[in-house]
Structure 1
């Protein structure tokens, strides 16, 4: 296992964004760690303040007019044209309210101090999912431990004191209405703005919380206190515990169920849980079962980046101060990696909802962007690391969520463009609902296609043919059907994307707007959808007529183009000039997050993507954000430049990471390291937490279906280390131990199927040994660093190789080993 799985802080939280997050995939808790007035916020993935949405009218008959304006270079009016057409028919998209993700309620624990504290610490054991708060008071150690049970869906807390006679107050309350974020700085919310009423009841050893929406739907929770050796009474709605040896608190939530049936049901369940533990602590019994399930996921992968033994014991605050002053400790990068995987395990599980913009954690009633699902980058970034990080199960709620939206996606395609197939909006919230929010984003037709990437990637990593047949192919077929209806053939025989949009950039032309023609990203996503759909169907031997149609359409897609600067063009249109002044890198989609362009497959456009990324550097740091730096790190890794990939992550740690290692959207202190936007305070956004994990994985292992690169973008600072348990698109799990100074690499390949892969090594091999020695390893025509390896399902092979590690980011070398396709 890694040298340490402890995330440690030495100061308490004063705001929810800095609290310690724990969770079981569907239920989250935020633990502040305050000694005298402890606060724990409980969240449930399905709690959203839902607003009824009007049905959008059919405006598809106006699309030819829009296309005519775009063909005539009437850019400035075109981007809002569809929005205006909706308004003319009485649908004001600006008044279609998003549904805010909201907290369930708070738990408060009050204690009277007996002496000044010493030895304070709050921490999470990421390997178990347990949070701990401890301190010494008058020579007596006090400890609070808590977790959210994966198998029983119960928040569990144990409070202990080395000396008998614990006293405290425990009560539940609705989460206070404290709104300080970008969306509310000009407005102070009151409870009149929140369409929920609350009832809280306390009785000896129990509390009940019921929240009721305006439509009568209810949610809430039941808490049960067990205090061996002590007394429990109720005064003014607070449970008073005195003289206890230990105190146990169990809380279970209910959602979308009448309180009249939920509360007695949960009381019975919690009573049985306590009684079934018999002589054992109910906390320890539940923890043991939880840890087994948690570790079955978390322990699949381990990493060591050569972290200093001294740094690995430092608390977050010290590591962040070191980073802030310019020298980012490797221990912090390693901890961020482990933490990102931990957060995914805790916020996304089968049968639930996918991780939203804040995972599953939230303390606001009106969180930034409603804590929604943004379909133009953010939700995709949430899951970039899931499959290579060996957490395939965490992607299942993503598929459930987007499949549930298919009926409304079909409606959107029909009323906007008169097309069959599906159209996904820029953002959405409640499962199964996909309203049209209007604005220029109605011109972006690639949302559904980009969402489809993970469907096919799931098959690549798992080789689950049942999933491919029953879920991936049907979803991709819906996207392809839209393209078949939407795309119009031009005189040159190529199809045209009109309208088209490159998130979130505007071309450098007079009157330029988001609405354009033939954005490279739109073409790239369509090419990816059609190519993977064809490959999947051919693998299964199905859909022959469809395959023929899709191949014909694929051949008609516009070819990518390179501008006079040598950069891949953002718009494949002669009158739309590139605009380098934007943080988004949508046009390099074929390089990343797509798999179409690699230095193996297409040297010319690989170099053009490299130039395009370099050109984007003109915007400077103050146009970046936390998530965009994470995205850039992944791109630099694909460009085999580990130092610049690591540099992006290091920059994130300075302005965009809090004491609990949550990532923020921006530099809230206005220090010039990211954009500012005049937010009142920090904006927690979890996508960069996940994007960092993906970037580290990209630096250490890259894969396509028959290709695996070992240490393709190893930063100079990571001279020695190991990673074990990385999954690949080749259906082979990879473990690597390396020592660049000695020029040695040990590689373990664990195939799940019979396959032959092209293996790229990080340098030219001078000697190699294999175990077993019967494995077939042949030279590759690509170059000396490449080997063709034949693998058999279940037969693990180990390669020991000596070499001089290649220089990272060597563009001449990258071009030399590629070939045009």
Structure 2
């Protein structure tokens, strides 16, 4: 299973990504000159500026009074007074350059590939071959260069960086070291000095270092003028090491990167390429090989990936498989235990001012990055985000207290490696439509609860998840206000990035956006379930139940559609990319075909009115939603839309699509669409959010035959599934713990229970008690 092209990458979104969660690279595959762009998860600008003082007391009260008086313009002005700094930016470390002086002309034998089974990028040009992978066990980018014809292998290699650097102190190895800016403005902000440095000696910013290590060669090798030169060789193994000084959000210079680089150089000096490759494959494949996905279709690997996208798109079943597994590959490559969480671009970035700072956008995008982590059999890859949430909650306690005089913790639209929890916006420069949104905490805590549901790890729930969930609930309770009807809701409130119309004018800030109500309903129910399991705070549980009983009900229009604002205001854009008010269907689970059916049907009508267009991540969200609405025709159409080919410089605004390297297009590139696609595909095949496992709930209409193995379900179960013509042919359920299992099949099935053959009717709940470590098989009755 591989991506393949017959020419080098001309743009970043044609290059192939590799990574191990901590370090990443983009391999261009040049012939005479190779460029490999380098990244590291902890290389950010900052530390951030802090407010000299909290917003003036009474600002929130003024906003509420303005909203009550329907003076929404004044409410927006007050919202600007709440803003803190912009988040900091994720930065590129630099580039590895390799020049081949004997390679003087192009070749018709050229091919470059990204092999997903081995997480290896390869380049072959008829004379030379090179393989590149990012090793987690050895924490290095590893290159194997070989001559495959009579021409000997000769090359020079060096490093460059767009950041400021100091003189490299080590004469025996090629390297560079430097420091980051203390502030980088977002690419959308107007500033006379968007990138701000202080001197190396006085800077409090993160420092970094990188070095090239020649591990083995049969040629002649020298280091001169900070370049590695190898001549007359048949092979060479080269390692690239990267380190930063970042130790924590409170310690930007808690480590010495040059010292760490020297330590890595000494640790790997006795290794061989075969040993490095073996350790890499054992580590990576232990994650990647947990899940298989097969669709009916013709193998077309003689065509390049970009040709297949353009010619066949979603009609190429094998290309759908490839895009699905590419998403899983990217999650493994950008998020591993002990690393930073995957940001807007995963771990890859080429700009000092990347799109939207390549930060953590908490009103959908960061969460979508981790939608497939549990279902796609990669719970270890979820850990960096779960840790991020716990650390953000600590920062968010002061924000809840100082900004809102509330208990618990809160966070807003954006965050970064420094765990910023304040409202962003550059101290009044930002638009409240996105800059003011204090509701990230309840959404984020769902990830903690989901991790528990899939693992059934009671210790995790008690020790890590529950305290964070409790803090989010405390803030939500204190944030509620009573409206004129006596119900409770949020005020001020925004529906992320979407304005409502009032007397013909668009405004961002009102009260009781329906997304807030859905988030509150969700986090309150999740807390009550967790509280009962851990034997927690009973008085708080009583307060939560009271709030649930008083919570304002989301309105439904005369046409039967769920409305986005509680006062029934129309939206500025009926086709807006955000689907915030539909949270209760997905990623929430409180509105379903079996629970709160009126809201569920109203949400379906609202989604239909929104249309099937959108950015890459919006299309992925719609795919997940239509899967929850059990509609295989709509999921099929959205997969087709998602797989439209786009190229850098030729994108259409907010139209989605997929770049030649299968990166998802907003446009520009945002990795959340890749991850949302994986989650959506699984939702079409297996769902477990309603208290039972539903098979083939929204099977795309063109997927006549296929199989998937390794799907994780809530309750501690794993599913293998094979289907044909919308019917399950065979299914195996594996139990990781003792638990009651309930399954619904779309067609008649049979199984063996207590030595006797049993028939199971289509659409009926079949329940059995599963024992830890055992598997249960089901066959089609036909």
Q: 1:702 to 1:316 in 2, by over 3 A?
A: same
User: Which residue of structure 1 aligns with residue 304 of structure 2?
Assistant: 315
Contact 1:771–1:798 (Cα < 8 Å) also in 2: no
User: Which residue of structure 2 aligns with residue 756 of structure 1?
Assistant: 740
User: Which residue of structure 2 aligns with residue 535 of structure 1?
Assistant: 529
| Superposition deviation, residue 761 in structure 1 | 1.4
Q: 1:576 to 1:247 in 2, by over 3 A?
A: closer
Structure 2: how far apart are the matches of 1:572 and 1:681? 29
| Superposition deviation, residue 305 in structure 1 | 1.4
Answer yes or no: is 1:24 the counterpart of 2:10: no
Q: How does 1:759-774 map to 2 (within 5 A)?
A: 759-763=743-747, 765=748, 768-770=750-752, 773=755
Structure 2: how far apart are the matches of 1:254 and 1:784? 55
| Superposition deviation, residue 160 in structure 1 | 0.6
| Superposition deviation, residue 284 in structure 1 | 1.4
Structure 2: how far apart are the matches of 1:672 and 1:252? 37
Counting matched residue pairs gives: 739
Answer yes or no: is 1:497 the counterpart of 2:490: yes
Contact 1:223–1:249 (Cα < 8 Å) also in 2: yes
User: Which residue of structure 2 aligns with residue 191 of structure 1?
Assistant: none
| Superposition deviation, residue 171 in structure 1 | 2.9
Structure 2: how far apart are the matches of 1:668 and 1:694? 28
Structure 2 counterpart SS, 1:797: strand
Structure 2: how far apart are the matches of 1:475 and 1:671? 38
User: Which residue of structure 2 aligns with residue 181 of structure 1?
Assistant: none
| Superposition deviation, residue 16 in structure 1 | 2.3
Contact 1:252–1:266 (Cα < 8 Å) also in 2: yes
User: Which residue of structure 2 aligns with residue 670 of structure 1?
Assistant: 652
Structure 2: how far apart are the matches of 1:296 and 1:595? 31
Structure 2: how far apart are the matches of 1:410 and 1:533? 18
Q: How does 1:386-465 map to 2 (within 5 A)?
A: 386-438=373-425, 439-440=431-432, 441=434, 443-465=436-458
- Kindly provide the CA deviation profile for residues 773-793 of structure 1, in whole angstroms up to 9, marking residues without a partner as x: 4698877xxx84432333222
Q: 1:364 to 1:199 in 2, by over 3 A?
A: farther
Answer yes or no: is 1:199 the counterpart of 2:196: no
Q: How does 1:386-785 map to 2 (within 5 A)?
A: 386-438=373-425, 439-440=431-432, 441=434, 443-490=436-483, 492-510=485-503, 511-573=505-567, 580-617=574-611, 621=613, 624-656=614-646, 668-670=650-652, 673=655, 683-704=668-689, 706-740=691-725, 743-763=727-747, 765=748, 768-770=750-752, 773=755, 784-785=763-764
Structure 2: how far apart are the matches of 1:772 and 1:291? 42
Structure 2: how far apart are the matches of 1:259 and 1:407? 20
User: Which residue of structure 2 aligns with residue 107 of structure 1?
Assistant: 96
| Superposition deviation, residue 253 in structure 1 | 1.2
- Kindly provide the CA deviation profile for residues 1-40 of structure 1, in whole angstroms up to 9, marking residues without a partner as x: xxxx222222211222321111111110111101110011
Determine which of 139, 159, 183 is the counterpart of 1:173.
159
| Superposition deviation, residue 302 in structure 1 | 0.6
Structure 2: how far apart are the matches of 1:143 and 1:604? 61
Structure 2: how far apart are the matches of 1:159 and 1:442? 48
- Kindly provide the CA deviation profile for residues 500-537 of structure 1, in whole angstroms up to 9, marking residues without a partner as x: 11122222322341112111110110111111111011
Structure 2: how far apart are the matches of 1:489 and 1:717? 50
Determine which of 28, 31, 36 is the counterpart of 1:35.
31
Answer yes or no: is 1:228 the counterpart of 2:217: yes
| Superposition deviation, residue 113 in structure 1 | 1.5
User: Which residue of structure 2 aligns with residue 819 of structure 1?
Assistant: none
User: Which residue of structure 2 aligns with residue 157 of structure 1?
Assistant: 143
Contact 1:164–1:245 (Cα < 8 Å) also in 2: no
Q: 1:246 to 1:787 in 2, by over 3 A?
A: same
Structure 1: how far apart are the matches of 2:236 and 2:48? 44
User: Which residue of structure 1 aligns with residue 320 of structure 2?
Assistant: 333
| Superposition deviation, residue 416 in structure 1 | 2.5
| Superposition deviation, residue 670 in structure 1 | 3.5
TM-score (norm 1): 0.85
Structure 1: how far apart are the matches of 2:47 and 2:523? 33
Contact 1:668–1:682 (Cα < 8 Å) also in 2: no
Contact 1:219–1:259 (Cα < 8 Å) also in 2: no
| Superposition deviation, residue 616 in structure 1 | 1.3
User: Which residue of structure 1 aligns with residue 774 of structure 2?
Assistant: 795
Contact 1:637–1:713 (Cα < 8 Å) also in 2: yes
| Superposition deviation, residue 365 in structure 1 | 1.2
Contact 1:747–1:798 (Cα < 8 Å) also in 2: yes
Contact 1:174–1:198 (Cα < 8 Å) also in 2: no
Structure 2: how far apart are the matches of 1:355 and 1:689? 12
Contact 1:323–1:650 (Cα < 8 Å) also in 2: no
Contact 1:340–1:690 (Cα < 8 Å) also in 2: yes
Structure 2: how far apart are the matches of 1:447 and 1:777? 46
| Superposition deviation, residue 578 in structure 1 | 9.1
Structure 2: how far apart are the matches of 1:418 and 1:775? 63
- Kindly provide the CA deviation profile for residues 77-111 of structure 1, in whole angstroms up to 9, marking residues without a partner as x: 3223221x35xxxxx75xx3432211112111101
Structure 1 counterpart SS, 2:501: coil
Determine which of 72, 75, 80 is the counterpart of 2:72.
75
Q: 1:692 to 1:198 in 2, by over 3 A?
A: farther
| Superposition deviation, residue 261 in structure 1 | 6.0
Answer yes or no: is 1:123 the counterpart of 2:113: yes
| Superposition deviation, residue 394 in structure 1 | 0.8
Contact 1:379–1:687 (Cα < 8 Å) also in 2: yes
- Unaligned segments of structure 1, at least 5 residues: 87-91, 177-193, 659-663, 804-821
Contact 1:568–1:612 (Cα < 8 Å) also in 2: yes
Structure 2: how far apart are the matches of 1:384 and 1:419? 30
| Superposition deviation, residue 344 in structure 1 | 0.1
Structure 2: how far apart are the matches of 1:775 and 1:72? 69
TM-score (norm 2): 0.89
Task: State which drifts further: 47-56 or 256-265.
Answer: 256-265
Structure 2: how far apart are the matches of 1:772 and 1:722? 28
Q: 1:456 to 1:9 in 2, by over 3 A?
A: same
Structure 2: how far apart are the matches of 1:374 and 1:16? 22
Structure 2: how far apart are the matches of 1:574 and 1:42? 49
Structure 2: how far apart are the matches of 1:491 and 1:433? 35
Structure 1 counterpart SS, 2:214: strand
Structure 1 counterpart SS, 2:261: helix
Q: 1:579 to 1:371 in 2, by over 3 A?
A: closer
- Unaligned segments of structure 2, at least 5 residues: 181-197, 247-252, 426-430, 658-664
| Superposition deviation, residue 202 in structure 1 | 7.5
